Amino acid sequence: MDAIQKELLAQIADLHEVPQGAYNLRVNSQGAGRNTTENIDIVTKKDKDGIDIIIKPGTKHESVHIPVLIAQTGLEELVYNDFYIGEDADVTIVAGCGIHNGGDKSSRHDGVHTFHVGKNARIKYVEKHYGTGEGTGARIMNPQTIVHIEEGGYMEMDTVQIKGVDSTVRVTKADLADDAKLVIKEKIMTHGRQYAKTDFTVDLNGEGCGADVMSRSVARDDSKQEFVSRINGNNKCNGHTECDAILMDHGCVTAVPELTANHLDASLIHEAAIGKIAGEQIIKLMTLGLTEEEAEAQIVSGFLK
């Protein structure tokens, strides 16, 4: 790996070398390294571009890293990754995409990730997106995440996009069986003329299942964000969605909640708050000796922490 690729890898996966455990590294649309373990297998798809990640039932405390790096201008790819998480497994999956675009053509990574979370399995899925490079070419990422959680399964999805992605449409669709739980924490910051749209649809099908979808975002400069959160309560279930956004400069944020209760015992809540940084927050930090700019930076970094 060269210095640019190492920098991307550090940003999206906090990795400085090849990771421990199972991993699959993809650089400029080519496989650049893979490791499997006794419990976690990674297989290249034959019918389309992508991989299958198969985690054996009962696998505990293991992790899988599948970072994607693009450092070539004009490269566009569509990748399908399927995750099969066996019953009772408890694992962490770290994905992420870093694009360094030094040229004038668009670089684009579209990924479709499908999760099959087995009965009583627990997974934490971490996804970071980062763009850099001095070129004028756009850095585009359109991730799709499809989640099926079986009875008693649990998935926590942390997605972060802090810097450098010019355009993104993130679609997440989930369906939950009895007693399954889904927690989504999204953090986004856009600047310049960037555009970010997130679109969540959660079908709460099972009895006693629940979902919590939380988004915190900051829209700076002339950037635009859209947050669509659709929760369908089709059984006795709990659903909560929350959009919390800070506006700066000429940023623009749209929050669209859509709750549908198809069952008498479905309990669904939506909360949304969009606004600039409260003046009193800045004043308080200034009374501690911070300048206005330092106070603002502190508030934003705390908010997105």
Partner 1 sequence: MLELKDICFDVNEENVNKEILKGINLTINDKEFVVITGPNGGGKSTLAKVIAGINKPTSGRIIFDGEDITDKNITERAKSGIGFAFQQPVRFKGITVKDLIKLAAGEDISTAGACDYLASVGLCAREYINREVNASLSGGELKRIEIATIIARKTKLSLFDEPEAGIDLWSFNNLIDVFQKMHDEIQGSIVIISHQERILNIADRIVVVSDGRIAHVGSKDEVLPGLLGSSAGSCKYFSAPEKEVSK
Residue from 46, 286, 296, 297 binding partner 1 (CB under 8 A):
286
101 vs 74, 108, 159, CA distance in Å? 8, 10, 22
- Give least dist CB 293 to partner 1, A: 10
Dihedral angle over CA of 196, 109, 186, 89, nearest 10: 160
**In what order do the strands lie in the sheet containing 252-261?**
40-44, 50-55, 76-85, 107-117, 139-149, 167-176, 195-204, 224-233, 252-261
- Pick out residues in 255-284 that bind partner 1 (CB under 8 A): 278, 280-281, 283-284
CA–CA dist 232, 203 (Å, integer): 5
- Give least dist CB 104 to partner 1, A: 37
- Give least dist CB 252 to partner 1, A: 21
Residue from 244, 252, 258, 263 binding partner 1 (CB under 8 A):
244
CA–CA dist 189, 173 (Å, integer): 22
Residue from 93, 149, 255, 299 binding partner 1 (CB under 8 A):
299
- Give least dist CB 178 to partner 1, A: 31
User: Do residues 143 and 111 make contact, with C-beta atoms less than 8 angstroms apart?
Assistant: yes
- Give least dist CB 244 to partner 1, A: 7
E strand or H helix at 211, and its extent?
strand 209-219
CA–CA dist 26, 66 (Å, integer): 8
Beta carbon nearer to partner 1, 61 or 305:
305
Beta carbon nearer to partner 1, 61 or 289:
289
- Pick out residues in 193-232 that bind partner 1 (CB under 8 A): 216
Q: Does 290 bind partner 1 (CB under 8 A)?
A: yes
**Vertex 267 angle, CA 144 and 85, to 5°:** 40
Please, which residues bridge with residue 131 across strands? Answer: 99
Beta carbon nearer to partner 1, 180 or 285:
285
Beta carbon nearer to partner 1, 30 or 289:
289
Residue in this structure with the two tokens 């600047």, named with its chain if needed = 191
Letter for the amino acid at 288? L
Q: Does 298 bind partner 1 (CB under 8 A)?
A: yes
CA–CA dist 52, 84 (Å, integer): 8
Q: Single out the segment in contact with partner 1 by CB under 8 A; choices: 29-37, 126-134, 166-174, 287-295.
A: 287-295
Q: Does 292 bind partner 1 (CB under 8 A)?
A: yes
- Give least dist CB 267 to partner 1, A: 21
E strand or H helix at 237, and its extent?
strand 237-247
CA–CA dist 295, 305 (Å, integer): 15
Q: Does 158 bind partner 1 (CB under 8 A)?
A: no
Beta carbon nearer to partner 1, 98 or 251:
251
CA–CA dist 194, 188 (Å, integer): 11
- Give least dist CB 281 to partner 1, A: 5
φ and ψ at 11, to 5 degrees?
-70, -40
Q: Does 291 bind partner 1 (CB under 8 A)?
A: yes
- Give least dist CB 292 to partner 1, A: 7
Beta carbon nearer to partner 1, 78 or 286:
286
Secondary structure class of 262 (helix, strand, coil): coil
Applying CB under 8 A, the residues found at the interface with partner 1 are 216, 244, 278, 280-281, 283-292, 298-299, 301-305
